[in-house]
Structure 1
Amino acid sequence: MSAPLEHSGFSWRGQALRHGSSRLDRIEPRARILALASFAFVAVLSQSLSVLVMALLMSISLAVVARLDIKRVWRRILAVDLFILLLLISLPFTTPGEPVFEWRQFSASEEGLIHALQIGLKANAVLLAGLTLLGTLSANQLGTGLAGLRVPEKIVHLMLFSVRYMDVIGRELKKMRRAMRARGFVACTNWHTWRATGYLIGMLFVRSLDRAERVHKAMKCRGFDGRFFLLPTPPWQTRDSYFLGVWLLALAALCLGGLQ
């Protein structure tokens, strides 16, 4: 029997991130969305390193409670860290301030080091919280939660369409890359490779537009009037209020700790 499908971060196909059964699964999607929004608000606006470290520890604790596969989560976080690594390395050398050390003709400032550390802590804390709170939801659950919070229908529909057709576009890209390899294409650092990559991206846009037009016509033929009929929003339970209340109290304690 094949293994259950799993998305990468926030889904190609809308499956929940693979994890063990936990109490977090019983929390209503609206409570999770509000918890993540409040956590991101506090983490992004905070400038205190101690608060950011505590926020990261809070995210790690939540991931442990949710019984996420730590190795898989670590690979996803590492991918994001590698993406912002260049920024974090360059900040100490481009931010004016008191020099801490010198490397050749470049000097790293204390302010730049602190700024880079703040960005790294914020990115990892918010990403891990997002993987734990929203990554363990399916796309349908997330859409239902957003609709329950009175998020505009067009945004909810756009999210659901994106989840579905990112997978379609991904399959088209794989087919095109297989066709290129079948014709003997080998990626190198030369002009031919860059030109072929440009053609690949251009054809991907053309095929995406063609697929979008065909899907739109098919949906109109089936009577689509611009609205999705989402599943009913689950009732708000007492445990959801307890979870959100404890979460907000923890965030308030973080804020008060940063003011001292």
Structure 2
Amino acid sequence: MTSFSLQHQALEPAWFAALDPRTRLLAALLFTLIALCLSALPPLLFMLVMALFMTLVLGCQWRLIIKRMLAFEGFMVLVLLFLPFTVAGEPWFTFAGMDASYQGLTQALVILLRGNAVVLALLALVGSMEPVKLGYALAGLGLPEKLVQLFMMTVRYIGVLFDEHQRLRTAMKARAFVAGSNWHTWRSYGHLLGMLLVRSMERAQRISGAMRCRGFNGKFHLLMPVQWCQRDTAALTIAVLLFLLPLEWQWWQYGF
């Protein structure tokens, strides 16, 4: 077992885990597209509430959700701080000779609600999916075979490279390396990246040779092809109807 994992563990309901992974990808894509089409605050707030509801219903672990959202909010704080000063409009307040506008504040709130809604929906619908199942879903949706193959190989060996990086770091600590703000530290990190690159290339060559010995001819065969059934059609239809509600609200209430 690798010490590196790409997905968080979720206590998914049985009905959700049994869905075709393409259903979850299509639902996530539809949610994202609709969120990008919204520009009014109330419909976007409704989308955010809907995303929060999905994280509750689909059994996501809130500790990991909050941890990942905090990393995202670090960028959103910069948007909230600087965007009001860069958009012209009705002055809100003045700071250091610069005017913050209400229009800039509105755009910042739109970006904040839209970004949080999309990230939460992706974590709920796709974040708990196993990487291999995600690769099968991408292949089932007709994405280029080379792209799917690259994704599957990356998922398989990124953990191996992470473990190799950990071994190199352990070797550095065994030689009494202590990171600091000096030339020795930067040179040591440069050597670390160089050795990681060299070992990655050597491992890739060994893997390529082993695959050729086993008859690999460039075609990636899926052992468990995905199958669409009636429950997937019903689930996707319900998702479409729910996700379209904020768009209809914006159309009828605001006319755009």
TM-score interval, smaller chain: 0.7 to 0.9
Cα distance in 2, alignment partners of residues 180 and 87 from structure 1: 39
> Which amino acid in structure 2 is aligned with residue 156 of structure 1?
V
Correspondence for 1:197 among 165, 189, 192: 189
Cα distance in 2, alignment partners of residues 201 and 44 from structure 1: 38
Unaligned regions of 5+ residues in structure 2, if any? none
Match of 2:56 in 1: 64
Cα distance in 2, alignment partners of residues 245 and 105 from structure 1: 53
Correspondence for 1:101 among 76, 93, 105: 93
Deviation at 1:83, TM superposition (A): 4.3
Correspondence for 1:160 among 139, 145, 152: 152
Deviation at 1:84, TM superposition (A): 4.6
Check conservation: 1:6, 1:17, Cα contact below 8 A: no
Secondary structure (helix, strand or coil) at the match of 1:100 reads strand
Q: Name the CA shift for 1:40/1:106 in 2 (closer, same or farther; >3 Å).
A: same
> Which amino acid in structure 1 is aligned with residue 142 of structure 2?
R
Cα distance in 1, alignment partners of residues 104 and 121 from structure 2: 26
Check conservation: 2:51, 2:121, Cα contact below 8 A: yes
Deviation at 1:106, TM superposition (A): 3.8
1:18 and 2:12 are equivalent in the alignment: no
User: Superposition pairs for residues 73-152 of structure 1, below 5 Å?
Assistant: 73-152=65-144
1:170 and 2:162 are equivalent in the alignment: yes
Larger Rg: 2
Cα distance in 1, alignment partners of residues 177 and 55 from structure 2: 42
Cα distance in 1, alignment partners of residues 208 and 241 from structure 2: 46
Check conservation: 1:63, 1:129, Cα contact below 8 A: yes
**% identical aligned pairs:** 39
Cα distance in 2, alignment partners of residues 132 and 209 from structure 1: 35
Q: Name the CA shift for 1:206/1:89 in 2 (closer, same or farther; >3 Å).
A: farther
CA deviations over 1:13-41 (Å, ceiling 9, x no partner): xxx53122413212211111110111111
Correspondence for 2:207 among 215, 231, 244: 215
TM-score (structure 2 length as normaliser):
0.87
> Which amino acid in structure 2 is aligned with residue 147 of structure 1?
A
Correspondence for 1:34 among 16, 26, 41: 26
Cα distance in 2, alignment partners of residues 52 and 61 from structure 1: 14
Q: Name the CA shift for 1:19/1:217 in 2 (closer, same or farther; >3 Å).
A: same
Q: Name the CA shift for 1:231/1:85 in 2 (closer, same or farther; >3 Å).
A: farther
Cα distance in 2, alignment partners of residues 102 and 184 from structure 1: 52
Q: Indicate the larger mover: 53-62 or 180-189.
A: 180-189
Cα distance in 1, alignment partners of residues 234 and 4 from structure 2: 30
CA RMSD of aligned residues (A): 2.4
